[in-house]
Amino acid sequence: MLSEMFYKLWANGLIQMAVFETIYMTVIATAFSYLFGLPLGMILCVTDVNGIRPTPWVNRILGFVVNFFRSIPFIILMVAMLPVARFILGTSLGNGAVIVMLVIGASPYVARMVESSVKEVGAGVIEAAQSMGCTNMQIITKVLLPEAKPSLINGAVISMVTILGYSAMAATIGGTGLGQVAIIYGHQRNNADITWICVLLTVAIVQIIQIVGTTIARKTDKRIK
């Protein structure tokens, strides 16, 4: 049966709070990651050799930066980026700092997701837009983004789940949420049931994100009859 510790945590609302914090950090971090990652991914796409405005030097520099950050394991990146959080927020503690870390870790990832979604838009449609006299900006806002929308939403779901995973890791540098509960009350105090409850709750959150996201993507996709 469940340990005493679980009832104590539940009665104090700690587990409920952890669920809320996990969702909160994930949503905010995803939003900010897209704020940076979406334009970044779009620039990667536009400046590509086959893009609407090939600019090899921009593409190469951005590509390098993105790959650089993506190749660092998140747990190391977090520790390394603590001074950045201190610089931005004045503190390297708490969920604010965790969100900064998550955004730094996830933006390059999001940029690649966006890039691959936007590259799915057919060259023919872009050519048609060019033949009508569209400016590059019009192609981005009226062709690339709307045509890639279902794929972008699917990508956002994957990114969000990844960010949720990162947020649990952030417990090691003082982040809260289900990761923290699992480590402090489950692992360190040897309550396997609490660890497992955190696992189940995480799985449930991921499932909900996945189902909601996929449904929205399918509903918006007009290619399906």
Partner 1 sequence: MIELKKLSKTFESASGPVEALRDIDLTINDGEIFGIIGLSGAGKSTLVRCINLLERPSAGQVIIDGRDMTALPRAELLKMRRSISMIFQGFNLLEQRNVLKNVCFPLEISGVKKQEAEKRAGDLLKLVGLEDKADKFPAQLSGGQKQRVAIARALATNPKYLLCDEATSALDPNTTRSILELLRTINQTMGVTIIVITHEMKVIDQICDRVAVIDNSRIAEEGRVSEVFTNPQSDIARDLILPQDRAALDTAGGRQVRLTFDGLYSQAPIISQMVLDCQAPVNILFADTKEYEGVIYGHMIIELPTDERQADKIIAWLSNSQVGWKEEK
Residue 220 has which token pair? 């918006």
Residue in 13, 54, 94, 146 binding partner 1, rule: CB under 8 A: 146
- 222 lies in the site for partner 1, by CB under 8 A: yes
- 135 lies in the site for partner 1, by CB under 8 A: yes
Compare residues 8 and 219 and give the one whose CB is closer to partner 1: 219
Going along 138-224, which residue ranges are E strands? none
Provide the minimum distance between the beta carbon of 30 and partner 1 in the complex, in angstroms, as a whole number.
23
Contacting partner 1 within 100-129 (CB under 8 A):
122, 124-125, 127-129
- 189 lies in the site for partner 1, by CB under 8 A: no
Residue 5: CB atoms within 10 Å:
15
- 200 lies in the site for partner 1, by CB under 8 A: no
- 131 lies in the site for partner 1, by CB under 8 A: yes
User: Burial of 223 by CB count in 10 Å (0-12 exposed, 13-18 middle, 19+ buried)?
Assistant: exposed
Is the CB of residue 185 less than 8 Å from the CB of residue 191? yes
Give the span between the Cα atoms of 30 and 41, in whole angstroms.
15
Provide the minimum distance between the beta carbon of 149 and partner 1 in the complex, in angstroms, as a whole number.
6
Compare residues 151 and 180 and give the one whose CB is closer to partner 1: 151
- 132 lies in the site for partner 1, by CB under 8 A: yes
Where does this chain touch partner 1 (CB under 8 A) — which range of 57-65, 130-138, 153-161, 205-213? 130-138
User: Burial of 211 by CB count in 10 Å (0-12 exposed, 13-18 middle, 19+ buried)?
Assistant: exposed
* Dihedral angle, C-alpha 84, 90, 93, 97, nearest 10 °: -50
The site for partner 1 (CB under 8 A) is made up of: 122, 124-125, 127-135, 138, 142-143, 146-147, 149-150, 220-225
